[in-house]
Structure 1
């Protein structure tokens, strides 16, 4: 056995599906045994992004626009409401059909065109992984600095252009190493670490706020501190604040199906998503504003980053009590950074890479690859000014939100929530998702047409700091997170109505992968999984590698029809157990 054979991802022994260039055990439709997420898990999943350092500093983004504290609260509520709505809608396909974002892209952009959407999602996840890992590394610097003054005052041996210090580089490497064991735990088993992380993060953030309120001196964050963007009409400022919130989680909204596919049943993700977004998503940025209002640097500007705040405390008062407080605060923040980075970024990138290279990459391997690639984006450059945060977060949404609109339009308006799972895992030209040479030109055209008008405004916005007036292009760009979503949703629906592809509104008649429990399959009008089925006279065990889809579906349909003839047709109200027996369904 050569190295190439060793690197191939193992087959799925449960269903018999063989790993190839289109499928592996991590991207098949998940069976009931792997769907372990309930309300608690989704509450933890959507709380994590708001119980970490980047959410704490969201207030700096909004205050830098010139919003008052009360306006910031309103913008947070509206922004989180839109995030919740889009996340629930875009994740619905995962909860119903138990497939992730990477596979769902094949139904939208085509089996080859899907690479466009997957690559964008992977790149964004890797960038976010690197940026969150850098913040986690800074937390390690606080811990080591509180234990050793020699580490805290370590001479910087790196050139000034590196934009980081030697101690922070060491801590960055340590955080990467600390993340690896958690990457090797699958998403199905991450529940307890996430709960622990959320609890510790809440305790630390409340404690840090109380500490600074007790020892600091209040200064209104909206009253005189420098704002970095020219002020325009107030409504446009509000809109920009809302789109910055959407942009900050646009990647999570886009690939939400990667995680909703782990839901025990459809709809269980809704309540956890709503609570996790509205409560921590509103309270934590406000705690950040309160804390920053009590702490300023030598120039009178607020200290937004909690790591900078802890470092400032160590520099001013290197006593035992201060060192102990900084140590435990940083330790709690590390747990939140680990949870956010592994679950929200590493897993997302790993799933995307598994969709691009399923024969050789699974989720765990993809996580490691993403961590290595994150160095290329130099994440230490992301955290100098709050304005840089805003530019980065908003720029992401230019490319991702139109694709989100297309996905929601395709699943709800065009396909009416019906998907042919078997057609998602083949490049057969007869498949419903092969479209034209493997690309759905309709979706690609709409995406490009919606993204293009925002590019001039995005470029102008990078230079807006030196202007006193804002152009129409910049205003359009600042609201594009909403504009682009609505435009793509409507235009895609119209084009698909004018140029409908084959297979719309169709779904498999047989559960080939063992995806559904018997009752679930029957409710969907699908013959439940029967482990063995027959194709062209050959009995197979869940594998249809290199077989024609038409042969598979027709032969299985013919087989099920023959079995139906053996029994009397069921009337309304008859025993459902007889129905299971008739279809040869296993009881789960």
Structure 2
């Protein structure tokens, strides 16, 4: 542990536990700080190569930028993502606290419910639905290879805007994910070390195939898209791509303390996460563009969905292996990153009526009802989804960063944060809700979402995470400084 990191004895942790906090919320002691640089390096390497990420790159290609510019924009995005993940994770690595307590230190014990809902329910449920659908697409292809007649079920009939084979596969895959959610996903986490190498075997193999199929790198780098969906200024297009990539990480970036609380030191998580994201995205930026464009050249069709390219491959074993790896990766990331947080958050919001399993079931049903297949209807729809996620969580991240670094000066009083609810906590700065944080979050949320509903403000929607983050950051600092200076508005309001 570095000198700036705080260690707690078992006696101190036991004191917090005696106040009614369960093990998941307690600060991690030295014995549980077992993640070093190598652990953080491998943490995100496999997660980068998921189906929605490849779909997003397909959308980037249709913006009209050259292939090399798409590669550079995606690679540069990694620097922003790494900075966000690292700096928002310092509170976790310094104090050993999870996301739930990090939120309380910013919004107050009552105030943490809204941002917790935005991350654990809104973002998690939406991502769960999208990941389940992308996994279902892979499942359709797998079933079709063994049972070709499955693809013809129902003919052209559609239910809820989706073909019957796709709906059957989605329902089956949805049920499987729900069952895994009930179990907590612990078993799947053990497969992470196996899945990551398997993903890279698939990706490297597909990249080599795409280069050969296209006739070398020359045709790929000189490829010109026809029918680009947007006519954007190249510089703004870079910002749009960076915003979309950050939006992919908006949810795990907000709750990154759940991962950094286990760091051996802040330095370990900073170095490990930076290397993981920068190197991982450098590989992804190259491979994703090469695979999508190389496949498009080879098959004579502009393709933005990597699954369609894999489906057209001649080798049945390659198709089966590739789809199986994507399926397993989807199940693992979906359980640990989406449905489990949603289940716990619903339990926290309604502890008297909803337990964890009911929370998982409710979140899963909502993810079905939002019909996530509409989020991948075309190369534009993925942007709408990512921009919405960025608009929802950008303000939360802005307030969290502003509070920790500029208001609290990287200091959290854990004795006050883990308050004893049997006492009068009226003067506890973490009690109730942080009114300035709420005002900043809500105003920034409205502004960053405005582009989704007002066509003239579409540019705001294109960079929604940046707009939400910067707006909330500035508004919160202004309100907080004014409050402290005038000593009129209390920092935290007492819970009614």
- TM-score class, shorter-chain normalisation, is 0.7 to 0.9
Q: Which residue of 2 aligns with 1:497?
A: 481
The 8 Å contact of residues 95 and 257 in structure 1, kept in 2 or not, is answered as yes
The 2-side partners of 1:186 and 1:210 are apart by 37
1:430 matched to 2:456: no
Q: Mapping of 1:332-371 within 5 angstroms?
A: 332-357=325-350, 367=360, 370-371=363-364
Structure 2 unmatched runs, 5+: 1-12, 492-496
- Say if 1:323 and 1:474 are closer, same or farther in 2 by CA, change over 3 A: same
The 2-side partners of 1:374 and 1:44 are apart by 29
Deviations 1:50-93 (A, max 9, x none): 12112223321222222112211221122111111111111111
- Say if 1:47 and 1:298 are closer, same or farther in 2 by CA, change over 3 A: closer
Q: Which residue of 2 aligns with 1:478?
A: 462
**Alignment match of 2:446 (pick from 433, 439, 452):** 452
What is the number of equivalent residue pairs in this alignment? 469
Q: Which residue of 2 aligns with 1:102?
A: 100
The 8 Å contact of residues 93 and 99 in structure 1, kept in 2 or not, is answered as yes
Q: CA deviation at 1:180?
A: 5.6
The 1-side partners of 2:269 and 2:357 are apart by 24
- Say if 1:134 and 1:452 are closer, same or farther in 2 by CA, change over 3 A: closer
The 2-side partners of 1:240 and 1:222 are apart by 21
TM-score where L is the length of structure 1: 0.71
- Say if 1:366 and 1:418 are closer, same or farther in 2 by CA, change over 3 A: farther
Q: Mapping of 1:539-554 within 5 angstroms?
A: none
Rg larger in 1 or in 2?
1
The 2-side partners of 1:277 and 1:344 are apart by 17
Q: Which residue of 2 aligns with 1:134?
A: 133
The 8 Å contact of residues 61 and 225 in structure 2, kept in 1 or not, is answered as no
Structure 1 unmatched runs, 5+: 1-12, 462-470, 505-588
- Say if 1:372 and 1:260 are closer, same or farther in 2 by CA, change over 3 A: farther
The 2-side partners of 1:257 and 1:363 are apart by 21
The 1-side partners of 2:345 and 2:302 are apart by 38
The 8 Å contact of residues 221 and 289 in structure 1, kept in 2 or not, is answered as no
The 2-side partners of 1:124 and 1:103 are apart by 19
The 8 Å contact of residues 130 and 379 in structure 1, kept in 2 or not, is answered as yes
Deviations 1:448-496 (A, max 9, x none): 23333334333245xxxxxxxxx5x333443443243233323322322
The 2-side partners of 1:488 and 1:55 are apart by 27
The 2-side partners of 1:290 and 1:298 are apart by 12
The 1-side partners of 2:222 and 2:372 are apart by 27
The 8 Å contact of residues 87 and 256 in structure 1, kept in 2 or not, is answered as yes
Deviations 1:367-396 (A, max 9, x none): 565434421222122112111111210122
**Alignment match of 1:29 (pick from 3, 6, 27):** 27
Residue 287 of structure 1 aligns to a residue whose secondary structure is helix
The structure where helix makes up a greater share of residues is 2
The 8 Å contact of residues 18 and 24 in structure 1, kept in 2 or not, is answered as no
Deviations 1:538-578 (A, max 9, x none): xxxxxxxxxxxxxxxxxxxxxxxxxxxxxxxxxxxxxxxxx
The 2-side partners of 1:179 and 1:14 are apart by 35
The 2-side partners of 1:339 and 1:497 are apart by 43
The 2-side partners of 1:14 and 1:164 are apart by 53
- Say if 1:270 and 1:383 are closer, same or farther in 2 by CA, change over 3 A: same
1:197 matched to 2:190: no
Residue 50 of structure 1 aligns to a residue whose secondary structure is coil
Q: CA deviation at 1:191?
A: 5.6
1:112 matched to 2:110: yes
- Say if 1:243 and 1:222 are closer, same or farther in 2 by CA, change over 3 A: farther
Q: Which residue of 2 aligns with 1:155?
A: 153
Deviations 1:16-41 (A, max 9, x none): 93696xx4332233344444433333
Higher relative contact order, structure no. (Cα contacts within 8 Å, ≥ 6 residues apart): 2
Q: Which residue of 2 aligns with 1:558?
A: none
The 2-side partners of 1:324 and 1:85 are apart by 40
Residue 281 of structure 2 aligns to a residue whose secondary structure is helix
The 8 Å contact of residues 70 and 289 in structure 2, kept in 1 or not, is answered as no
TM-score where L is the length of structure 2: 0.83
- Say if 1:191 and 1:242 are closer, same or farther in 2 by CA, change over 3 A: same
The 1-side partners of 2:187 and 2:298 are apart by 46
Q: CA deviation at 1:405?
A: 1.3
Deviations 1:160-213 (A, max 9, x none): 252323333333233345446754776888664111111111111222233344
The 2-side partners of 1:214 and 1:163 are apart by 37
Q: Which residue of 2 aligns with 1:87?
A: 85
The 1-side partners of 2:154 and 2:429 are apart by 55
- Say if 1:393 and 1:186 are closer, same or farther in 2 by CA, change over 3 A: same
Residue 499 of structure 1 aligns to a residue whose secondary structure is helix
Deviates more, 1:139-148 or 1:396-405: 139-148
The 8 Å contact of residues 77 and 245 in structure 2, kept in 1 or not, is answered as yes
- Say if 1:190 and 1:383 are closer, same or farther in 2 by CA, change over 3 A: same
The 2-side partners of 1:431 and 1:364 are apart by 36
Q: Which residue of 2 aligns with 1:48?
A: 46
The 8 Å contact of residues 452 and 458 in structure 2, kept in 1 or not, is answered as yes
